[in-house]
């Protein structure tokens, strides 16, 4: 089954062609990061306009690079939630038009289910069950993946996402957007034990996380130093910050794997690109005898191939949508699109 997949939930316009959920025939991406960097973060209106400007061109390119004709497309898949509503709507309406014109099914996909599905492309023999940590710019969650479409969240950030914390920290340090890659580079020369930073615990919710206190601590450290005219060891601050994020994530994920009986653990989302976090997970998985799955960088950030992969399984479970399909800014991972009562 050949699925034409579209992703426009944030600031990446992405289109891919995926066969049978596992084989990527093409995957095209236009990142708007440079445009949003001017403003220190994603500007929703600019994101929507750029999706509209680039989605047609990328679709042509995806078809050409996949080496297929439009008539060979068996279904159109699109990220419908969660995300920036205006940005999602561009993808959803483009997908509706295409599915209608080609007279093929329209498959709605939850963005975070897509991040989990990145593993099916990276590891073609992988099948659920497994435990999945998704750490992106907008979400941090631990999911119990019992089946391709049977997924429940067992831990999540109560406030900011890990990626947002990277982005805001980089902003207060004047390092631009997105913050993750630049902080990673800066941290490589730092001492990760120089700054003691908060690692909050949420009583009674062993797998929930909180990053807003860490973000505030970073802002305060930078502002205090500025007010006192002191020079900060920013490399050590970045290293201590990254270690703290890792110290919040790794023990929770390993404990959740034990409790829920998983010996396969996946880490996806943009923050999974971080080499320190990858190394800490690698060590912990080795110690506990677990298999660690971390997709390559190209599949960790937003892309449409992961949407095309998840769509295959959503379609098999009967989750096709009608043309009344709408986008949603928020939506639980465990919800199905069939259950949406839009009006």
**Residue (298 or 334) nearer to ligand KG4, CB:** 298
Q: How far is CA 230 from CA 119, 214, 226, 340, in A?
A: 45, 21, 6, 54
Nearer to ligand KG4, 25 or 272 (CB): 272
| Closest CB to ligand KG4 among residues 91, 138 | 138
Smallest gap from Cβ 177 to ligand KG4, in A, equals 8
Q: Do residues 99 and 105 make contact, with C-beta atoms less than 8 angstroms apart?
A: yes
Interface with ligand KG4 (CB under 6 A): 10, 136-138, 163, 166-167, 178-181, 184, 269-271, 273-274, 301-302
What's the closest the beta carbon of residue 154 comes to ligand KG4, in angstroms?
20
Q: Which is nearer to ligand KG4, 101 or 329 (CB)?
A: 329
For ligand KG4, the closer CB: 128 or 180: 180
Q: Which is nearer to ligand KG4, 2 or 153 (CB)?
A: 153
The nearer residue to ligand KG4, 21 or 180, going by C-beta atoms, is: 180
- State the nearest-atom distance from the C-beta of 272 to ligand KG4, in Å: 8
Give the residue with the Cβ less far from ligand KG4, 75 or 246.
246
Q: Which two tokens stand for residue 81?
A: 């939630």
The 10 Å Cβ neighbour count of residue 258 is 13
Q: In whole angstroms, give the CA distance from residue 21 to residue 309.
A: 4
In the complex, what is the shortest distance from the CB of residue 166 to ligand KG4, in angstroms, rounded to a whole number?
4
As a residue count, the chain comes to 343
DSSP, collapsed to helix, strand or coil, labels residue 170 as: helix
DSSP classification of residue 304: S
- Residue 39 DSSP symbol: T
Measured between its terminal Cα atoms, the distance across the chain in Å is: 32
Cα–Cα distance measured from residue 305 to residue 328, given in angstroms and rounded to the nearest whole number: 21
Decide if 168 contacts 179 (C-beta within 8 A): yes
Distance CA 230, CA 242 (A): 22
Transcribe 172-189 into DSSP letters. Answer: HTT--SSHHHHHHHHHTT
- CA 85, distance to chain mean position in Å, is 16
Least distance CB 43 / ligand KG4 (angstroms): 15
Please state the closest distance from residue 282 (CB atom) to ligand KG4, in A: 15
CA-CA distance, 342 to 329, in Å (whole number)?
A: 13
β 23-31/2-7 pair status = unpaired
Q: Name the minimum Å distance from CB 184 to ligand KG4.
A: 4
Which of 133, 36, 139, 147 is closest to 82 using CA atoms? 139
Q: How far is the CB of 109 from ligand KG4 (least distance, A)?
A: 13
Smallest distance from ligand KG4 to CB 302, Å = 4
Token pair for 308: 């095309």
């Amino acid at each position: 089954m050949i699925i034409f997949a579209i992703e426009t939930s944030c600031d990446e316009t992405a289109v891919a062609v995926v066969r049978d959920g596992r084989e990527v025939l093409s995957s095209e991406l236009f990142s708007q990061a440079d445009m949003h960097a001017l403003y220190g973060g994603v500007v929703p209106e600019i994101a929507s306009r750029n999706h509209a400007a680039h989605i047609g061109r990328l679709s042509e390119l995806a078809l050409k690079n996949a080496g297929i004709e439009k008539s060979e497309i068996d279904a159109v898949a699109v990220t419908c939630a969660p995300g920036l509503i205006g940005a999602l709507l561009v993808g959803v309406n483009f997908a509706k038009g295409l599915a209608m014109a080609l007279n093929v099914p329209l498959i709605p996909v939850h963005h975070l289910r897509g991040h989990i599905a990145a593993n099916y492309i990276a590891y073609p023999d992988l099948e659920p069950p497994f435990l999945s940590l998704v750490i992106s710019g907008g979400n941090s969650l631990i999911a119990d993946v019992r089946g391709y479409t049977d997924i429940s969240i067992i831990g999540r950030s109560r406030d900011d996402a890990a990626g947002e914390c990277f982005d805001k920290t980089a902003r207060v340090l004047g390092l631009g957007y997105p913050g993750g890659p630049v902080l990673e580079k800066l941290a490589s020369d730092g001492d990760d034990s120089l700054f003691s930073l908060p690692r909050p615990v949420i009583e009674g919710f062993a797998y929930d996380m909180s990053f807003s206190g860490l973000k505030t601590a970073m802002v305060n450290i930078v502002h205090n130093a500025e007010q006192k005219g002191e020079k900060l060891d920013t490399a050590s601050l970045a290293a201590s910050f990254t270690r703290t994020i890792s110290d919040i994530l790794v023990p929770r994920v390993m404990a959740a794997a034990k409790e829920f009986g998983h010996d396969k653990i996946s880490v996806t989302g943009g923050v999974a690109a971080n080499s320190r976090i990858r190394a800490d997970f690698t060590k912990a998985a080795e110690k506990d005898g677990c298999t660690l799955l971390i997709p390559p960088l190209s599949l960790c950030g937003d892309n449409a191939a992961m949407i095309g992969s998840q769509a295959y399984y959503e379609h098999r479970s009967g989750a096709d949508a009608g043309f009344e399909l709408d986008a949603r800014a928020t939506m639980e991972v465990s919800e199905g699109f069939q259950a949406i009562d839009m009006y």
